[in-house]
Amino acid sequence: MHITQLNRECLLHLFSFLDKNSRKNLAKTCHKLLEVFEDPLLWSLLNFHSPVELKKDNFLLGPALKYLSICWYSERVKVCNIEDWMKNSFQRDFCNRHENTVRDFLLQVCNRCPNLLSLTLSGCGHVTDDSILLLLKSCPKLRTLKLENCVRITDGTLQAVTLHGGALHTLHVDFCRNITQAGLQRVREQCPSVVLRAERSTNMIPDSQPEKKPMLERASRKLVQL
């Protein structure tokens, strides 16, 4: 029996075992397999492991998407977690490309995936409070939000959760150095049903604004002299 003789349900099941590239390559072989590739039922779960993957055309975003994970840990991407004012011109250009890629992708998710139930973002140094706010507004069924080492996330995201995270059940903000204990306490008080975890976040050194650096340096020197 040729693979194209299988019914639609069997083909969807077979495709579900393949990674995104393999699905795309198989879909190029004939029109019937392309139709299977384009079936929304195939794309309820998406995992990405580098910014480059977000720009490929080997996946579909649509209302069927319920579970989305974007996690990367490569040495190159660690540059994105450095404070902006400490980056050189090459690093800044490198990070700008990542920022545009991530922002545009999350905007597509907001526009196309209203039934999203779970979102995990790890090591994504360019995810902003504004993006999370828009996601919470656009995906009202979101139950799980896990953020890890997202350095631009602040108490603004925590406030957005209290205002627009009505369906949220689980919130992780681990290793997010720019959130505060006050922000976490606000979530606990206003959203008592949310399972909140913030490993190391408020114990890390937050980013300081450039104009505050000279003052901090002077204070440090005084302490050393004492």
- Return the closest-CA partner of residue 63 out of 144, 164, 141: 141
Domains annotated on the chain, with CATH: 1-42 (1.20.1280), 43-197 (3.80.10.10)
Which residues in 49-91 belong to E strands, given as ranges?
Answer: 67-71
Taking the C-alpha atoms of residue 37 and residue 28, their distance in angstroms, rounded to an integer, is 9
Taking the C-alpha atoms of residue 173 and residue 202, their distance in angstroms, rounded to an integer, is 10
Which run of H or E residues covers position 26?
helix 20-27
pLDDT digits (tens, 9 = 90+) for 157-208: 999 999 999 999 999 999 999 999 999 999 999 999 999 999 999 888 787 7
Q: Where are the alpha helices (DSSP H) in 42-175?
A: 89-112, 129-138, 155-164
Which residue in the block uniquely carries the two structure tokens 């540059």?
79
User: CA-based angle 80:128:188, to the nearest 5?
Assistant: 120
Is the CB of residue 76 less than 8 Å from the CB of residue 123? no
Average pLDDT, the chain: 88
Helix (H, G, I), strand (E, B) or coil at 69: strand
User: CA-based angle 129:131:136, to the nearest 5?
Assistant: 95
pLDDT digits (tens, 9 = 90+) for 69-118: 999 875 555 666 667 666 777 667 767 677 889 899 999 999 999 999 99
pTM: 0.84
